[in-house]
Structure 1
Amino acid sequence: MKRIAVVGATGYVGGRLVSELLRQGFHVRAVARSVEKLRCRTYAASNGLEITQADVQNPAELLRALMGCASCYWLINETGPWEQSNRGLQAAAGNLLSTAKAAGLSRIVYLGPPKKSTPRVPQTDSHCGSAIDPGEILASGSVPLTWLRTAMIIGAGSASFEILRYLTERLPIMVAPRWIKTPVRPIAVSDVIRYLAECMRNEQTAGLHSDIGGPDLLTFRDLIDIYSDAAGLPRRFVLTLPVRAIVPSAYWINVVTPVPFNIARPVVEILDGAPSTEDDPIRRVLPISLTSVRDAVTTALQDLEQHEVESCWSDAGALRPPEWLMCGDAPFAGGDVMDCSYRILLDCSPRRVWQVLLTLGGDRGWYFGNALWKMRGFLDRLVGGVGLSRGRRSAQDLRTGDAVDFWRILLAEENSRLILLAEMKVPGEAVLQFSLRPRDGGCELIQVARFRPKGVWGLAYWYAMAPFHDYLFRGMLRSIARNSGCAVVHDPQPFCGGGEVCRLPDEWGKTG
């Protein structure tokens, strides 16, 4: 069977599509900026899978990643600041346009938002206009494009569903702009994956441009009622105002839900102007049985309850560890790096402690000083950060690339190391690491915070936080020991040289 490239394999849809294609027997080349995110997926050891690193903004890397593939799924979506992200999407699509033929692709399948009323641009254009959809750029090339468009995906972990979920659960009374009454046809994520997979099997879909939606035409107001019923909540009171309020809505979503402004804004833009047509040309080629919205919401809630969230909106994006964290760099690389290091000696195996480390963050909290963690998260949200509201993808396991509150997992080495990169608003770069070292009859648990300050405000921030580090680290280490069922041989003590255990391995990020 011919090899298929999935570009954007770490995203919400991409992660699920790779799994489904492998299940159906396809040979898949998963392409992403951060290969470490892919290596820890359940399907990473599959015989039919290749993992390739490439930045879609680099034409040479993209061409190398696509060479030898017959077809390509293009699943690149907004993950950065709005204006930069929009230009980046267009530039990335232009790179695919220029490399697809040279790579020998016979088909491209692209999943994007509903089509805007924008004229198609010729291939010679620079593709830098803010209104141009990447699909228009891809459609102007010589490689046949299957262009699927959807306004809202319902599934555990999708940005749209998380917005619906948190708004409904946290706000019994809402004042909402008019987009809340725009009719849309939400589609279950399982149906999206089926459409995408079947497109590759059916040659009649080559060159087809079509919306895809579920069987129900509903407003976001209707969805709030459906979610309330499925979750066993009282119906919410919603007052609708005759205003669009796109940007204020996105900021409000950033405050109330885990979804940040740069993700919320395109979601609201789509809901505000989504086409309500029920004529999907793809239905005449692929007449699959579609899932009702009520069933899709129920399934999503069950997945959340059972901790079976396969992928999440926060999975997307590159892992960019600070340069000073890489092995081989001099200790002074990138400037002065401050560190705060504590260790505790326990009478149990690293494995017992590791099981507790895997549950850090989210609803469980940080095992000590949770009020302080919540205060830090609240302050982060006030200045536009993600705060603690992202929680965790799963309460029971962690994998590289996972978001954990305002941290991102850089490395999760079983029974050995857990390195977290700070994604909160902070005047510098910060990492937090937990390390486990076997000792005679027990283990040593090490906790290290490292920080590279930016300017005088960064230094002021570090020294202002120093007293809290001492209090939190001692308390966290004792609490982790207690929850592990381990006796403390030596109490937590500060030590020098913690930065030496905070380096990423030489092979980190390499494709092998």
Structure 2
Amino acid sequence: MEVSTKPIFVAGATGYIGGRLLPRLLDSGYQVRALVRAPEKLRDRPWAQHPNLSIIKGDVLDSDALIQAIAGCRAAYYLVHSMSPEVKDFSVTDRTAARNMVVAAEAANLEQIIYLSGLGEEQSELSHHLQSRTEVGNILRQGAVPVTILRAAMIIGSGSASFEILRYLVDRLPVMITPRWVSTPCQPIGVRNVLHYLLGCLEHKDVVGGTFDIGQPEVIDYRQLMEVYAEEAGLPRRWIIPVPVLTPRLSSYWIHLVTPVPASIARPLAEGLSNPVVCRENRIAELLPQELFDTRKAIRLALDRIKQHTVETSWTDSGEIHPAEWSNPGDPAWAGGSLFSDARRIVLNGQPEDIWPAVSSIGGEVGYYYANWLWEIRGFIDRICGGVGLCRGRRSASELFPGDVIDFWRVVAVEKCTHLMLSAEMKLPGEAVLSFRLNRLADGQTELQQIARFLPRGLFGLLYWYAVMPFHHYVFNGMLRGIAEAAGQTISSGPEKIDKNILL
């Protein structure tokens, strides 16, 4: 098939769907222009240096930048949704972004916009989440550029927020007290099927300007979804007891405690579960034929990805990377106030290449190499206080990219065999980073530095630092020894504290 040389624009390239669609577009021979707020998130991806890829730093909320970024493109994927803990009212943000997209698409004279929306009858009382998704589609349609809208219910795939809620609830709760929405009919779809439809929309003229419902062949309810998951996961039968008193707000708090998804995201999702989400028609199945996975196969494929540690993208990928300029090891004392640090080193008889796998595997199922029970207590306290806790885990057990989540940390920077910096996303009276640096020494030795830095906020920040400081000697020294043991390297000297003024 001959592919146009004009680029395909992707807004939302670092999101759950966008991060999977982008490499598939490249594999299909398309020129791709990706708009991202944090280009460093894509820098180390296997396809980041592809000659057909252009990565543009920008934001759909910046109208002028969006117009400039989209100029010269043939078509655009609009995969932007602002439902995140950092956005107070995602519908307002989504409305502004969609209007900016209309203006930019008209200025670029695009042939088509492809938008992934949510299922739900517009005549019914939709949740705030589904209302916003529908409103975005209506705004995009107000422009002169034809819009293809795909409406999907729950997307079943490793790393999706909806699937993670399902997985953790069923994995952890033999008995589930659920709201009445457990009997709501739905028509989920596997993520691979979604990607097939998104790609096909580019080359099939009969879908341009149309709205299509996409879903698996059969209609089920959430109780059946949980039962199928338990069977595929090899779990005993789960007892599901619906009660009428559980509101979406209460449900979101329960989801917050049991799953990695925070209440701020869980609540709009839980509200949407009360709306029937069933396909009204299936025309696209004839226009873009493929094998549509049923619930069982879609769940099986997602679980296989998780077991093999090959999750491509996760719902956590859309989180912000908050730069921590104050944490730069080369900076002098922070001019804005108190800055605390705890720096330690250990010298190992081995090369950085031998030690790095242990450093980069920290967190998730591996844990923190020492006193994991203390980390679990800290994670539980964070969860109770409304934080993310430890249960987000890792997207992959072996690879790390900037923007990835590790429990209650986010990767700020990663340089293979040299440096890893993590920024804390737990509830704290201040800001914190934890970094590791490998320095190659003479005689086949390597110095491993571990540096914790904390920028307190007010009196509680100061009290917090002094409260946890007595644990550092045991926990941090134990971590360094644990990394050495995990890497299979003998210790030449240390662990020991080092002066912050000689940090490399």
Same fold, judged at TM 0.5 (above): yes
Shift of 1:280: 3.1
1:268 corresponds to which residue? 270
In the alignment, is the contact (CA less than 8 A) between 1:340 and 1:498 conserved in 2?
A: no
Task: Give, in whole Å, the separation in 1 of the partners of 2:418 and 2:144.
Answer: 50
CA, structure 1 residues 115+311, in 2 after alignment: closer, same or farther (shift >3 Å)?
A: same
Aligned to 1:94: 99
**Residue of structure 2 in register with 1:112 after alignment:** 117
Provide the residue aligned with 1:27 in structure 2: 31
Gaps of 5+ in 1: 120-128, 502-512
Task: Give 2:76's aligned amino acid.
Answer: C
Q: Give the C-alpha shift of residue 115 in structure 1.
A: 4.6
The amino acid that maps onto 1:485 is G
Check 1:82–1:262 CA distance in 2 against 1; reply closer, same or farther (3 A cut). farther
Aligned mate of 1:44, from 45, 48, 52: 48
C-alpha separation between the residues in 1 aligned to 2:195 and 2:424? Answer: 32
1:446 has 2:422 as partner: no
Mapped pair 1:80 → 2:85: yes
**Aligned Cα root-mean-square deviation (Å):** 2.0
Q: 1:498 to 1:417 in 2, by over 3 A?
A: farther
AA paired with 2:100?
A: N
Aligned twin of 1:69: 73
Alignment deviations for residues 19-72 of structure 1 (CA, whole Å, 9 cap, x no partner)? 111111111112211111111212112221111111222112222221221111
Contact 2:79 / 2:115 at 8 angstroms: preserved in 1?
yes
Q: What is the alpha-carbon distance in structure 1 between the residues aligned to residue 320 and residue 336 of structure 2?
A: 20
Q: Which whole-Å CA distance do the structure 1 matches of 2:135 and 2:473 have between them?
A: 51
Aligned residue runs from structure 1 range 490-501, under 5 A: 490-497=493-500, 501=504
TM-fit CA distance, 1:326: 5.9
Shifted more, 146-155 versus 275-284: the winner is 275-284
Larger mean CA deviation between 314-323 and 172-181 belongs to: 314-323
175-184 or 89-98, which moves further after superposition? 89-98
SS at match of 2:10: strand
**Is the contact between residue 215 and residue 279 of structure 2 (CA under 8 Å) also seen in structure 1?**
no
**Structure 2 length-normalised TM:** 0.93
* Matched residue, 1:487: 490
CA distance in 2, matches of 1:323, 1:351: 28
Q: CA separation in 2, counterparts of 1:403 and 1:473?
A: 21
**Residues 393-443 of structure 1: per-residue CA shift (max 9 Å, x gap):** 111222211100000011110110000010001011111000000111201
Please report how far the alpha carbon of residue 466 of structure 1 lies from its aligned counterpart in structure 2 after TM superposition.
1.0
1:239-318, aligned counterparts within 5 Å?
239-243=241-245, 245-318=247-320
Q: Is contact 1:29–1:52 with CA below 8 Å preserved after alignment?
A: yes
Q: State the one-letter code of the partner of 2:448.
A: L
Counterpart Cα distance in 1 of 2:502 and 2:25: 42
Amino acid corresponding to residue 484 of structure 2 in structure 1: A
Q: Which residue of 2 is the match for residue 174 of structure 1? A: 176
Deviation at 1:265, TM superposition (A): 2.0
- Report SS of the residue matched to 1:166: helix
Moved more, 192-201 or 53-62: 53-62
Task: Work out whether residues 120 and 278 of structure 2, in 8 Å CA contact, stay in contact via their aligned partners in 1.
Answer: no
Between 172-181 and 47-56, the greater mean CA deviation after superposition: 47-56
The within-5 A match list for 1:341-490 is 341-441=343-443, 442-490=445-493
Q: Relative to structure 1, is the Cα distance of residues 326 and 263 closer, same or farther in structure 2, using a 3 angstrom cutoff?
A: same
For 2:75 and 2:502, locate their aligned partners in 1 and report how far apart those are by CA, in whole Å.
45
Q: Which deviates more from structure 2 when the two are superposed, residues 389-398 or residues 257-266?
A: 257-266
- Counterpart in 2 of 1:506? none
Using the alignment, how far apart are the partners of 2:492 and 2:502 within structure 1? 24
Whether the 8 Å contact between 1:400 and 1:410 is mirrored in structure 2 is yes
Residue 63 of structure 2 is matched in structure 1 by 59
CA shift digits 1:372-399 (9 cap, x unpaired): 1001100000011110000111112222
AA partner of residue 199 (structure 1): C
How far did residue 164 of structure 1 move?
0.9
Greater mean alpha carbon deviation, residues 281-290 or residues 161-170: 281-290
Identity %: 44
Q: Work out whether residues 330 and 503 of structure 2, in 8 Å CA contact, stay in contact via their aligned partners in 1.
A: no
Q: 1:383 to 1:330 in 2, by over 3 A?
A: same
8 A contact 1:341–1:449 mirrored in 2: yes
CA positional deviation for 1:284: 4.4
The Cα shift of 1:155 comes to 0.8
TM-score under structure 1 length normalisation: 0.92
Question: Is the CA contact 1:33–1:317 (under 8 Å) kept in the aligned structure 2?
Answer: no
Q: CA deviation at 1:166?
A: 0.8
Structure 2: distance between partners of 1:406 and 1:131: 29
In 1, Cα distance between the equivalents of 2:328 and 2:441? 26
Closer/same/farther in 2, CA of residues 232 and 427 from structure 1, 3 Å limit: same
Matched AA of 1:157: G
Q: Residues 165, 451 of structure 1: CA spacing in aligned structure 2 closer, same or farther, 3 A cutoff?
A: same
Q: Which residue of 2 aligns with 1:156?
A: 158
On the 8 A contact 1:244/1:272 being kept in 2, the answer is no
In the alignment of these two chains, the number of paired residues is 492
Contact map agreement 2:118 2:133 (CA 8 A) in 1: no
- With over 3 angstroms needed to count, the CA separation of the structure-2 counterparts of 1:234 and 1:87, relative to structure 1, is same
Residue by residue over 1:257-314, the C-alpha shift from the partner in whole angstroms, topping out at 9 and shown as x without a partner, is 1111222223222221133244134334323331111111111111111111111111
Preserved CA contact (<8 Å) 2:433 2:454: yes
What is the deviation of 1:141? 1.4
